[in-house]
């Protein structure tokens, strides 16, 4: 005889699970409000069996901050998402209130956070005195969290230096960070304190934030990215030397320059540096200390946007960089503009550039050269086994040496991509 049930809550878990499976997400959340038992059944399906990964990211193009209340309903002993990404906008005060309400609601330990701040509408007129006070409180709240990463774009907060107090202790848990210049000395000083107090491994600073390089002492730094146009050679040399015990990757943009004419960096030892990327002038300055690099295996030569003072051709700088690379036998992979490499090989007198038998992988950017012109590279790289040509970001095809130096044979020329690679507008925690 069939059993009659008076209410939905009288149903056995097996039947509740079937019902939850058939109803919409909105109805599941409505059930979760009724009682603890329905809450557990409905949200177990919502966050585990059905697993909605978008609940791990809030703000910008992701879920609204108000959806954090759905997570707050899930009252169990373990968080469904132990790491949450938050993208704050100009409504950061309201968004922070939603996050704080979630943290006050949950019965388990709070999650860790990846935090970024979008500043598309944060112009100088935005920073009224009341907004500045809210921003100070916002940063105070961040300090109480365990933030694994923080991305702060460029914005104009110069009013912060003269209108309100900003006495905020530093963040101490950052592992990755991106700091742009906020046009506020007080806020920039706080950034420096956060960097020095945290176990940061990956750091990106840009624009005028590089003026803070002398103040930085980052105990765990592995990857440094300088998105700036200029740094004085002694400042950069001192920074690299201070972090030589941990630094593995150094990246600089193509427009990066050292203001001194033909500068060199006096580096004694950078034993763990494995990769360096930058324009020819930077590489000339860094690689001039050839004996300092024991583990350097990858060099990325970017198209130089500024030449030496008095220099007439890109080939002069390229030739000098290649000479230095030939003296560092640990380097196995080289990335460089193909046209510049070929011009350098053709225009240089025989013997002016030593061969680099230790290079076995060449990645060519700007591969606008005739097939027969590539053969001239056999002079520079006699032991090359792999040649990859990068036509645009995300699109590569490979050439392998079969019959050096008479030909390059394409192994996948029929599979070259025809259109631009797919892009996403989703923000990333580190740039």
Cα 14 to its chain centre, rounded Å, is: 46
**What pLDDT digit, counting tens, does each position of 226-280 carry?**
987 788 899 999 999 999 999 999 999 888 878 777 788 989 999 999 999 999 9
Q: Bigger pLDDT: 226 or 20?
A: 226
Report the distance separating Cα 34 and Cα 231, nearest Å. Answer: 61
Report the distance separating Cα 57 and Cα 59, nearest Å. Answer: 7
Q: Which two three-digit tokens encode residue 410?
A: 């394409």
**pLDDT, position 278:** 92
Cα–Cα separations (whole angstroms), residue 341 to 105, 182, 251:
61, 40, 21
CATH topology of domain 256-411: 3.80.10
Please, are residues 248 and 298 in contact by the beta-carbon 8 Å criterion? no
**What pLDDT digit, counting tens, does each position of 21-64 carry?**
777 777 777 777 777 777 777 777 777 666 677 888 998 777 89
Provide the 3-class DSSP secondary structure of residue 251: strand
Give the domain ranges of the chain. 8-51, 256-411
Report the distance separating Cα 341 and Cα 77, nearest Å. Answer: 60
Query: What predicted TM-score, i.e. pTM, was given to this entire model?
Result: 0.82
**pLDDT, position 417:** 36
């Amino acid at each position: 005889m069939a059993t009659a049930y008076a209410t939905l809550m009288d149903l056995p878990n097996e039947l509740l699970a079937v019902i939850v499976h058939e109803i919409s997400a909105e109805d599941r959340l409505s059930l979760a409000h009724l009682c603890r038992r329905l809450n557990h059944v409905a949200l177990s399906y919502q966050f585990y069996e059905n697993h909605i990964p978008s609940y791990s990211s809030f703000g910008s193009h992701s879920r609204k901050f108000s959806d954090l209340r759905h997570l707050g309903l899930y009252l169990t002993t373990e968080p469904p998402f132990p790491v949450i990404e938050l993208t704050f906008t100009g409504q950061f005060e309201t968004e922070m209130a939603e996050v704080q309400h979630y943290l006050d609601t949950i019965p388990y330990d709070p999650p860790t956070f990846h935090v970024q701040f979008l500043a598309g509408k944060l112009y100088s007129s935005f920073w009224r005195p009341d907004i500045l006070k809210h921003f100070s409180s916002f940063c105070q709240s961040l300090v109480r969290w365990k933030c694994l990463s923080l991305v702060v774009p460029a914005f104009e907060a110069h009013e912060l230096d003269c209108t309100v107090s900003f006495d905020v202790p530093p963040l101490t848990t950052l592992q990755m960070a991106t700091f742009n210049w906020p046009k506020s000395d007080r806020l920039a000083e706080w950034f420096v304190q956060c960097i020095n107090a945290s176990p940061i491994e990956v750091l990106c600073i840009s624009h005028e934030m590089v003026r803070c390089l002398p103040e930085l002492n980052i105990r765990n730094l592995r990857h440094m990215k300088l998105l700036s146009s200029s740094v004085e050679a002694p400042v950069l040399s001192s920074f690299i030397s201070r972090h030589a015990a941990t630094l593995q990757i150094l990246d600089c943009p193509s427009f990066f320059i050292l203001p001194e004419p033909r500068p060199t960096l006096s580096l004694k030892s950078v034993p763990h540096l494995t990769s360096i990327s930058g324009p020819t002038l930077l590489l000339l300055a860094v690689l001039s200390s050839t004996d300092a690099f024991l583990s350097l295996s990858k060099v990325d030569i970017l198209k130089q946007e500024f030449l030496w003072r008095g220099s007439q051709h890109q080939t002069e700088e390229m030739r000098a960089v290649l000479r230095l690379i030939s003296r560092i036998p640990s380097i196995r992979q080289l990335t460089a503009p193909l046209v510049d490499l070929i011009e350098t090989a053709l225009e240089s007198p025989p013997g002016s550039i030593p061969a680099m038998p230790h290079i076995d992988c060449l990645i060519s950017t700007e591969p606008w050269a005739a097939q027969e012109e590539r053969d001239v590279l056999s002079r520079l790289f006699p032991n090359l086994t792999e040649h990859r040509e990068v036509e645009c970001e995300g699109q590569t095809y490979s050439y392998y040496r079969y019959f050096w130096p008479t030909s390059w044979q394409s192994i996948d020329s029929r599979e070259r991509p025809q259109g631009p690679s797919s892009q996403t507008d989703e923000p990333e925690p580190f740039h």
